[in-house]
Structure 1
Amino acid sequence: MAKHAPDQPAPAMPGKLMNAITDLGGEDVLWVIGKKLEKTDVSKCHNRLSILESQVAVEEFITITERSEISQRNKIAVDVVLLVTAGGGGGGGDDEAHHQGTQLWGLNFTKWEMKISSIYVLITNWWELVRNNSLKRGDKAQVWSFRRSHNGGEKKKKLCFAINVLRN
């Protein structure tokens, strides 16, 4: 079950998204954040989804090793499972008529230190994801992390994300 901060309760994950995670061998699902997409999140020149570090539901979605790596501005290759849900009124219901299929994207994850805050960012191919799915400012992104076996190895689990976008 996904962990979450009490002030930001985790919504129910759509069944299609959970099924896609399961099909990838995913586990350890954690609620990260819910946010409205801002102008910079859907801008070609910015090419990134920003997640304020101070607003994540649990810090444990990244390991100590990953935290150290991204603190040095290194990028971590991640898989992102995306589901776009029409009509942003729902909180995770599974009315099949309102869902497109899930998509798997390869992106990079890192952390940027700003003047007054730190942000995690999903970068590299983010603009393609936005453009191909016609994401707009005001759409709501629900973000979970999960782990999956990497290159058949059981020791190190790869960081991945699942994003449900609720159309505005």
Structure 2
Amino acid sequence: MVNNIDFGNRIQKIMNHYAISASSFADYMGVGRSSISHILSGRNKPSLDFVMKIVDAYSDVDLQWLLYGKGTFPKTQNNPVEVPPSAPIPEKNSTVTTAQDLFTHPPAEEIKSEDLTTSEKKLSSAIISTEQKIEKIVFFYADGTFSSYQMKKT
């Protein structure tokens, strides 16, 4: 039987080996980011499909090592590390952080008006002109509490 905590630790070891974040790991394999988060925390057990995606995506991961911790990782200690194509390659002087927020999205690129087609400009002006009104704002705090603010009707 697979131990959830040990399995999560082995996933973390793979991510550390390739110097990638949990979100990059999930994106590369085509699984949900929350799946990685739940497995790393020991909340969920991995599915067979999930395990096979890891073994298929990362050739240095041995199935027996991944499931039961038997054997070694990487499979061949002498071969140079092959970084998956979508994994970010850290710069020489950068620090790799392994604990990252799985839900933060990178800032969107600024799109210039002159780069848009006429139909895209019409669509964007239609979206901008639609006024959406905020009804409620909720703040969630690290200690598990929250504050809710209801907007006044005008």
TM-score, normalised relative to structure 1: 0.21
Q: Greater CA radius of gyration, 1 or 2?
A: 2
Q: Which has the higher helix share?
A: 2
Relative contact order, higher structure (CA 8 A, sep 6+): 1
Q: More strand per residue: 1 or 2?
A: 1
